[in-house]
Amino acid sequence: MSFTVLFNLILTVATVVTGIIWSIERFSAAPKRARRVAATGIPEKQGAFSEFFGGLFPVIAAVFVIRSFLYEPFRIPSGSMIPTLHVGDFILVNKFSYGLRCPVGGCKIVELGEPKRGDVVVFIYPNTDASDPNRGNDFIKRVIGTPGDRIQYAGKRLTVNGVEAPISMAAVQSDVGYGDVRMHEDFGGVKHDILIKPDRVSDPFSCPFVQPNGDNFEFTVPPGHYFMMGDNRDGSNDSRCWGTVPEANLKGRAELVWMSWDHERARPVLSRIGTLIR
């Protein structure tokens, strides 16, 4: 069980338990106490147990509602989405963008929308193999293909349903590592930067599960699934390696960087705070 799932379970249980204590105090214990005080004139205090745990309910309930149905914080753990997102970025994920789901279990309560090509999405890693260390973890990538899309990737260029996404050299070559080049991509109107290694050629061991050649393939997205890729195109563990993401695994759309922390210098990166994610 991942930390996120465990936290959601604990938060749900805490909300229910404190809610029951608060309700008993509000609608049963408090009225009875008030009647006794009115009859005897002797003041009575609320029990310490119900006062403490019942008092926590409004706070816990607010956190529960916001985290489960509105926005959830997420920390970027790897460089697979550079240059769009950096290691150490803390982002807000819109939980209602693709429908309201149960806090535990992932069942859908209300249908509100579907991912679009180019959306940056947080989802639960789709491989359920018990031996996979990523099982149950949250991942973040960009939606490249929606159900039924025909994807082609060759020469570092994406083509979806016969339409190629044009790329050009980015004006600023920042956030790049050795051998990387920052390019500007227009993916169906979603304009963003990507990183590529022009001289890198994929080998059969890079993505042995789905696409033996992660730099040259064609693929049709099955119904109810989404094909994901990182913006760090030659440095991303994504659908080229472990396959498509079922609709039930989607958690929400990434919207905003609310904090960024530089671990090497042990200080916040103020210039990234408030960055909208596109």
Residue 158 domain-assigned (yes or no)? yes
pLDDT in tens, 9-23: 899 999 999 999 999
DSSP state of 80: T
Domain final residue pick, 70, 97, 112: 70
Domain final residue pick, 27, 45, 70: 70
Q: 94 and 9, same structural domain?
A: no
Catalytic residues: 80, 141
C-alpha span between 235 and 238 (Å, rounded): 9
Q: 107 and 64, same structural domain?
A: no
pLDDT in tens, 219-276: 999 999 999 999 999 889 899 889 999 999 999 999 999 999 998 888 999 999 999 9
The pLDDT score that the predictor gives to residue 79 is 92
Q: 44 and 64, same structural domain?
A: yes
The pLDDT score that the predictor gives to residue 202 is 66
Averaged pLDDT, 187-207: 81
Q: 127 and 261, same structural domain?
A: yes
Comparing 2 with 51, the larger pLDDT belongs to 51
The pLDDT score that the predictor gives to residue 207 is 67
Share of the chain above pLDDT 70, in %: 95
Q: 80 and 45, same structural domain?
A: no
Residue 278 domain-assigned (yes or no)? no
Contacts of 159 (CB under 8 A, 6+ apart): 151, 152, 153, 165
pLDDT in tens, 97-156: 998 888 877 778 888 889 999 999 999 999 888 888 888 889 999 999 999 999 999 889
Q: 87 and 61, same structural domain?
A: no
The pLDDT score that the predictor gives to residue 2 is 67
Q: Which amino acid is at 202?
A: S
CATH classification at residue 200:
2.10.109.10
Lookup: tokens for 169: 């050299």
pTM, entire model: 0.86
| pLDDT grade for 73, boundaries at 50, 70 and 90 | very high
Cis bond upstream, residue 83 (ω within 30): yes
Residue 25 domain-assigned (yes or no)? yes
Q: 200 and 90, same structural domain?
A: yes
The pLDDT score that the predictor gives to residue 127 is 85
Q: 92 and 63, same structural domain?
A: no
Q: 249 and 136, same structural domain?
A: yes
| Helix, strand or coil, per DSSP, at residue 12 | helix
- The number of domains in the chain is 2
Q: What are the distances in angstroms from CA 222 to CA 98, 169, 218, 219, 225?
A: 19, 33, 13, 9, 6
C-alpha span between 211 and 204 (Å, rounded): 8
Closest CA to 101 of 56, 69, 59: 69
Q: 83 and 202, same structural domain?
A: yes
Q: What is the mean pLDDT of the chain?
A: 90
Averaged pLDDT, 159-183: 90
- Domain coverage including residue 65: 3-70
Q: Which amino acid is at 11?
A: L
Angle at 127 between CA 123 and CA 132, to 5 degrees: 115
Q: Any long-range contacts for 60-67 (C-beta under 8 Å, 24+ apart)?
A: 60/11, 60/14, 60/15, 60/18, 61/15, 61/18, 61/19, 63/11, 64/11, 64/12, 64/14, 64/15, 64/103, 67/8, 67/11, 67/95
